[in-house]
Structures are given as C-alpha cells and as structure tokens.
Amino acid sequence: MKNYEELLVWQRGMAIVEATYELVRQLPREETYGLRSQMTRAAISIPSNIAEGSSRTSELEYKRFLEIALGSCFELDTQLIAAIQLGLVTLPSDNRLPGHLEEEIKMLHGFISRLSSTNKLTANS
C-alpha cells in the first residue's frame, strides 16, 4: 500500500496529532520537556508508523508497524489520563482527542486482524 494518505486510519492519526497539539498548549511551561514532549511524540508516532509500514514489502512487516502505532495510541491515552488527573489540562468540550483515540484503536485492531488473517490464508496455501 503506497498511498497511505488515502487510508482512513492514517487520516484519523493526523486528526489525533492536531487535537494533541491543541491540547498540550494548556500544559505549563515546566512540562515542555516532560509530558508535552511525550504526548506530541506519541501522537506523531501513530500516523508516522502507519505511513512507514505501508512502504514495507511484506504484510508481516506492515503489521509490525501498525502494532507500534497501536502502542502509541495506548501511550498517548495514558498520558492524557495522567495530564487530566494531575490537573495539568482541562479537556475542552470540543476536543475530540479521546474519541479519535478510541476510533483509531478500533481501526488499528481491525486492520491488524485483516493482515493476520491474510497471512494465515497465504501460509496455508
């Protein structure tokens, strides 16, 4: 899959990046190299790994990059929960980050499952 930009899962990943950068602006300056850096790095890792995986020649390699993107979703979700629980951010009502993350996790699970079942079919042939 060379045209990753057409993938809804990649597009949702980019929406996560935008929503994350919007949210981290609330973090205090002392979090610039802490939570802010961690959250933005996890966010950009999601669509980046989807894109990088699409360049791989084997579905097994592609699946591995999708699994890394999935891990970044869970990492970002944990960081978001921590930022809220610590009172460092207030989630604005129009911020769609939690919903985007939930959708992205489901889409990545589905994509990974499809690649896994394709690998099983070709291995049994």
* pLDDT band per the 50, 70, 90 thresholds, residue 120: low
Contact 118, 59 (CB under 8 A): yes
Distance of alpha carbon 10 from alpha carbon 100, whole angstroms: 12
pTM for the model: 0.90
Question: Is 121 a residue whose pLDDT tops 50?
Answer: no
Residues 47-94 have pLDDT tens digits of: 999 999 999 988 999 999 999 999 999 999 999 999 999 999 999 888
Contact 36, 89 (CB under 8 A): no
Task: Delineate the domains of the chain, giving CATH numbers in brackets.
Answer: 4-124 (1.20.1440.60)
Write out the two tokens for 80.
């978001």
Contact 91, 98 (CB under 8 A): yes
Q: Please give the mean pLDDT across all residues of the chain.
A: 91
* pLDDT band per the 50, 70, 90 thresholds, residue 119: low
